[in-house]
Amino acid sequence: VQLQACGGGLVRPGGSLRLSCAASGSNLSINVMGWYRQAPGKQRELVARITRGGDTNYDDSVKGRFTISRDNTKNTVYLQMNSLTPEDTAVYYCNGNIRPPWQSYRDYWGQGTQVTVSS
């Protein structure tokens, strides 16, 4: 199982970015998917997560600005980020609670994608 994240980049304050992360592998069963971020000198923190049924929760710092969604047919999770501020600058990691065939559920992580918000 691999999680491939993309969509990061450099954006001005107030701008938007859309991250996506696809899980590759056959016959996967995917439970919760989420996005985390880690800024320099700080611990990795949860940004948002979404259940298979579409229930979501967000960190207070991104509520109203970020939207998490998923396409279960494509094993893909998205993060639409609007009204970005310099405080959103971080490496963003996707996470999935996944069960490959004949195995148990466990967490998998993507490689991280850099988001930089700067004028």
Cα 49 from Cα 36, distance rounded (Å): 9
20-61 pLDDT, tens digit per residue, is 999 998 889 999 999 999 999 999 999 999 999 999 999 999
Place of tokens 């701008």: 15
57-70 pLDDT, tens digit per residue, is 999 999 999 999 99
Q: What is the pLDDT of residue 105?
A: 93
Q: Where are any strands of DSSP class E within 25-112?
A: 29-38, 45-50, 56-58, 66-71, 76-81, 90-99, 106-109
Closest by CA to 99, choosing from 45, 8, 35, 27, is 27
